[in-house]
Structure 1
Amino acid sequence: MKIAVIGASGKAGQLIMKEALARGHEVTAVMRKATQPIDKKAHSLIKDLFDLTYDDLKNQDVIIDAFGTWSPDSLPLHQTSLKYLADLLSEQPNRLLVVGGAGSLYVNQAHTLRLADSPDFPDAFKPLASSMGKAFDALKKRNDVNWTYLSPAANFVADGQRTGHYMIGHDELLTNHKGESQISYADYAIAMIDEAENAQHIRQRFTVVAE
């Protein structure tokens, strides 16, 4: 399978690329700048996300959007970048898998309260969660794109252990048998490439938590 990872130099992107390569997939690392070496088994495409054309992506079976930005003035890019990619892939056969956020997950069965709006959600993360939530809400309306949105657990652990095990949910925040809602970047990468291979959540959001 041919997989392009946009934002391959980021922490999540690196591990997703590593997981895909370990399974024998042909991977293209899409990066705005060649800031660091990538695995020699991967191809590289040095290009800004907003300069990508469909010709750059047309031969890819799966495009994984691992774009991320955190500075206050750049947060709207979560919305504009996802719209840009969705527009590029409109009415095309390629699949778009998105590294999403947890803030848009619901914390009640009635689906009236999202994690980002719950009392204990940290104020510092609310602007990021709001922008990513708006991006997801717009994506949900797209029936012209073969999208999948993968939300991590509430605690997304960059340097956490790769256990190879996770549990799957859909639109509600998950906790494990310990009552914890967390997932390592490494286990999240496993879930992402499992979805790339198995296509179980076309035009759906799903979420994963460590067992």
Structure 2
Amino acid sequence: MKIAVVAANGRVAQKVIKEALDRGFEVKAFGRDDENKTVAKDYVKKDIMDLTKDDIAGFDAVVDGFGAWTDEEQPMHIKTSQHLCDLLSGSDTRLLIVGGAGSLYVNPEHTVQVKDAPDFPAMFLPLANAQGAELDELRKRNDVKWTFISPAGDFQADGERTGEYILGGEELTLNEKGESIISYADYAIAMVDEIENGDHIQQRISVLRK
């Protein structure tokens, strides 16, 4: 398969690139930095908002690894993913987005989200709100084959690669130990599995450690 990864120097994106290359995928990485921090040999310095249709034409999938941490940058979650949607509109190229856990639901009625809890960390609330709004906008796009993949609540950058995961849906899911946890490496496995299988078009899914 042939994929493009944008915001490729992000830590999750780097894991996705490695996982994809290990499976024999052809990977083109796009990043705004001069330095290529990924293991991809094909790296192009280009900001997401400067990408054109020609840049991402002909790929089976595009992975959006964008992440912002300052309050001022949070609106860019919507702007960047919608820009990619506009570029891919009407095409067969799938768009897979590294999502967040804050927008997962905690009740069957889907009226309460993880981020609504009184003990939700205040420092992560702007990010959770931004990615929740990003997902809301994606749900309006019937012209793009998007998939939004939320990690578990405890998303561990340096966590173990177990090679296994549980696939969940819109609701926060716990494993047999009562945990909501996953490593970046196992998340990358789930992401690349979804790229290969394409089972959840225009859906949000979630993943956690088995």
TM-score bracket for the superposition, by shorter chain length: over 0.9
| 1: CA distance, partners of 2:199 / 2:36 | 33
Deviations 1:8-50 (A, max 9, x none): 11110100000000000000011011224432x5311111100
Q: Does the 8 Å CA contact 1:183/1:210 hold for their aligned counterparts?
A: yes
Deviations 1:116-141 (A, max 9, x none): 11122111111111011001001011
Aligned to 2:63: 64
Q: Report the number of matched residues.
A: 210
Provide the TM-score with structure 1 as the length reference. Answer: 0.97
| 1: CA distance, partners of 2:37 / 2:157 | 20
Q: Does the 8 Å CA contact 1:182/1:210 hold for their aligned counterparts?
A: yes
The 5 Å alignment of 1:39-54 reads 39=39, 42-54=41-53
| 1: CA distance, partners of 2:191 / 2:166 | 13
Q: Does the 8 Å CA contact 1:26/1:42 hold for their aligned counterparts?
A: no
Aligned to 2:136: 137
Amino acid at match of 1:4: A
| 2: CA distance, partners of 1:29 / 1:55 | 15
Provide the TM-score with structure 2 as the length reference. Answer: 0.97
Q: Secondary structure at the match of 1:186?
A: helix
| 1: CA distance, partners of 2:42 / 2:9 | 13
| 1: CA distance, partners of 2:14 / 2:99 | 16
- Consecutive unaligned residues in structure 1, runs of 5 or more: none
| 2: CA distance, partners of 1:170 / 1:42 | 34
Q: Does the 8 Å CA contact 1:21/1:42 hold for their aligned counterparts?
A: no
Deviation at 1:6, TM superposition (A): 0.7
